[in-house]
Amino acid sequence: MSRASVLAARGPESPEAILQVLIHSMRAHPVTLPAGTPDPTAAEVRLAGGIPALTGEPLLPWPRLARAAGATARALIGSPAGDAALAVARWLERDGGRHDHEALVVAALAGAWEPLRRLARRGGVDPDVACTILDCAARPALRAGAAAVASIPALAGWSRPVCPSCGAPPTIGVVLGKERERRLCCGRCGTGWAYPRVRCTSCGEADHRRLGTLHPAGEGDYRRVETCESCRGYLKTVAALDLPNVDRVLELDLETAGLDFVALERGYRRGTVEEW
């Protein structure tokens, strides 16, 4: 599951209810991108070189990230993760001056969680909860940035399995309509992009003999796991008439959590993209 679904999978409260709290919190954060950000010319140059459009763009200053993270943490009070979330909020308020703010912002926007996990452990707070909260706090800026670069023509020619806007691995795959066109969907910034039907989204394997599917009986045309024997990666895929919006992508990710367990039990892994 994606980071937005991590907290939703904890405790006795309805996972769907917790996910809706996170979605509402992300919608509630006001987003005003810094003037001139993102730079469309620089974004187009990056895309032409195979680099996601928003890479390195200063989309979110530290004060806004800190406020959004605090609001997200407090929105979770009363949930099974509430105590851990409140500890994260207090940690950011108490120790924020000692942190490298620029590094925190860069990591949250890029989804580089290991540095944040180390800081959270040092601060005595749950690293998974800390990363999930900072992830949710950064997503509104990523979504605004993705919307700002959506009209760049180079996006249409993107052929890599990472998001052309923010560089995240796809959250879920979608097979659209009668044409069965394959799209990959990013749960962080909301971008959807075309990708070949017969190609692994982790390593680029295109030999159909190395690619397979896992699914409950009778559901293969609707919901399935697409697997690769070359890298042991997987991606969940659903059929739909229209491309889902970013909130629906997160809901689908949670609704198909059973497929994650099926794939993990068979030794496949998710969320890794090898350079190829």
**What single string gives the DSSP state of each residue in 121-156?**
HHTTS-HHHHHHHHHHHHHHHHHHHHHHHTT-GGGG
Per residue in 44-53, pLDDT (tens digit) is 999 999 999 9
Q: Is residue 195 part of a domain?
A: yes
Same domain, 15 and 54: yes
Its domain, for residue 197, covers: 158-265
Q: Is residue 119 part of a domain?
A: yes
Is the pLDDT at 96 greater than 70, yes or no? no
Q: Is residue 276 part of a domain?
A: no
Per residue in 231-259, pLDDT (tens digit) is 999 999 999 999 999 999 999 999 999 99
Same domain, 67 and 22: yes
Q: How many domains does the chain have?
A: 2
Is the pLDDT at 97 greater than 60, yes or no? no
Per residue in 36-92, pLDDT (tens digit) is 999 999 999 999 999 999 999 999 999 999 999 999 999 998 888 889 999 998 888
122 band by pLDDT with thresholds 50, 70 and 90: confident
Tell me what pLDDT residue 52 has.
Answer: 96
Same domain, 123 and 37: yes
* Token code pair at residue 144: 């605004």
Starting at the edge strand found earlier in the chain, the sheet holding 181-185 runs 192-194, 181-185, 172-176, 234-240, 223-228, 211-214
Tell me what pLDDT residue 275 has.
Answer: 43
104 band by pLDDT with thresholds 50, 70 and 90: confident
List the single range of 58-62, 98-102, 174-178, 223-227 with lowest mean pLDDT: 98-102
Decide which of 96, 116, 151 is a domain's last residue.
151
Decide which of 151, 175, 194 is a domain's last residue.
151
Task: Tell me how far CA of residue 21 lies from CA of 9, 72, 197, in angstroms.
Answer: 13, 9, 34
* Token code pair at residue 91: 């940690």
Query: In a 10 Å sphere around its CB, with 0-12 CB exposed, 13-18 middle and 19+ buried, how is residue 33 labelled?
Result: middle
Same domain, 147 and 220: no
Is the pLDDT at 9 greater than 60, yes or no? no
* Token code pair at residue 80: 């099974």
CATH number of 204's domain: 3.90.1670.10
Q: Rounded mean pLDDT of 180-198?
A: 94
Tell me what pLDDT residue 272 has.
Answer: 62
Distance of CA 242 to the CA centre of its chain: 20
Q: Is residue 7 part of a domain?
A: yes
Same domain, 52 and 143: yes
Same domain, 201 and 85: no
Decide which of 151, 184, 213 is a domain's last residue.
151
Is the pLDDT at 276 greater than 50, yes or no? no
Q: Rounded mean pLDDT of 175-198?
A: 92
- What percent of the residues of the chain are helix, what percent strand, and what percent coil, each to the nearest 5? 45, 10, 40
CA distance 162 to 272: 10
Q: Is residue 272 part of a domain?
A: no
Q: Rounded mean pLDDT of 13-40?
A: 89
Q: What is the mean pLDDT of the chain?
A: 88
Same domain, 241 and 224: yes
List the single range of 1-10, 69-78, 133-142, 179-188 with lowest mean pLDDT: 1-10
Per residue in 139-170, pLDDT (tens digit) is 999 999 999 999 998 888 898 999 999 999 99
CA distance 199 to 181: 13
